Amino acid sequence: MTKQKLVNLHIVGAQKCGTSALAHFLNLHEDIYVVDGKEAHVFDSPEFLRSSQKMLCAKSIYASKLSRYKHQEYICDATPITWTDTKFLQHCYAYNKKAKFIILLRHPVARAFSQFKMSSVRKQENKSFLYAVLLEKRRLAKHENDLSFSSPWRHQNYLKRGVYTQQLEQIYALIPSNQVIVLYQEELMRSHQATLNRVFSFLNVKEKEIPQETIFTGTSQSASFLDSLGRAYAYIYYWLKGENRKNWDKIIQSAQESVDERN
């Protein structure tokens, strides 16, 4: 029996930052296979977390999502929630310590509102954005141990998912920086091929010209008065937390310099 190849590339975040578009573009490269459905949801699944044989469980879930796999060099799982919880990320890294990780970021307020609109369309949210962000901490506290796929912990964590400094520090504390690349959504949109070439270089695969296209237009970004107030609240929230590109880049640069010093 042929030994199952381990998934060795993860697009771990952040949700609503262009992960679907990037996964689509990478899947057009002959050396990269994106798992069926893009998001395997292995390390955050209740099945995996309950399992006493986690490696076997992970392999089993992944095996069910490789229907068209033709021995490409990379198998990619693009599950954004993976980097939002330490235990998810720890299990993911333990599964394959040689894997590479891609992170995409965008302005956290735009990201939060985009998630809110998606949750609203999917009937997972029935409040305005203002009330949703004001109630978020209380809502999540009630479901902090509920990891079911229908849990509000997954679908109503608008502000929490945008605390990038914490998540960047978490990933660099666990994974060597030469196995991590951080991109920004606007780079993928404005410098499409150059950004993809950075990814191809990171993966050490040949460059491939991939036409730019609109992969996922998302839901309408129109906002009611209360939604606009919610966005204003979110801007203040992230400003007070120091969530800005300058601080994110400092964390990234510090992690890279630390590896350079050791080498």
What does the pLDDT look like over 228-257, one tens digit per residue?
A: 999 999 999 999 999 999 999 999 999 988
203 part of a folded domain = yes
Rg (CA), the chain: 18
Cis before residue 14, ω within 30 degrees of 0? yes
233 part of a folded domain = yes
Q: Which of 130-144, 152-166, 209-223 has the lowest mean pLDDT?
A: 209-223
What is the model's pLDDT at position 20? 94
Helix, strand, or coil (residue 105): strand
CB 140 within 8 A of CB 157: yes
Q: Which of 76-80, 112-116, 132-136, 142-146 has the lowest mean pLDDT?
A: 142-146
**Confidence label for 1 from pLDDT (cuts 50, 70 and 90):** very low
DSSP label of 42: -
Quickly count: other Cβ atoms within 10 Å of residue 52's Cβ. Answer: 6
Q: How many domains does the chain have?
A: 1
User: In this model, does residue 2 exceed pLDDT 70?
Assistant: no
257 part of a folded domain = yes
Q: What is the mean pLDDT of residues 198-208?
A: 98
User: In this model, does residue 3 exceed pLDDT 90?
Assistant: no
109 part of a folded domain = yes
What is the model's pLDDT at position 144? 81
- Return d(Cα 171, Cα 139) in angstroms, integer: 26
183 part of a folded domain = yes
Report the candidate in 2, 4, 103 with the shortest Cα–Cα distance to residue 56.
4
- Return d(Cα 130, Cα 232) in angstroms, integer: 9
- Return d(Cα 199, Cα 26) in angstroms, integer: 9
3 part of a folded domain = no
What is the model's pLDDT at position 147? 85
What is the model's pLDDT at position 256? 87
Extract the runs of DSSP E, i.e. beta strands, from 117-217.
180-184
User: In this model, does residue 135 exceed pLDDT 90?
Assistant: yes
- The one-letter code for the residue type at 39 is E
1 part of a folded domain = no
Q: What is the mean pLDDT of residues 103-132?
A: 96
Full domain range(s) for residue 141? 9-262
Length in residues, the chain: 263
CATH number at residue 181: 3.40.50.300
68 part of a folded domain = yes
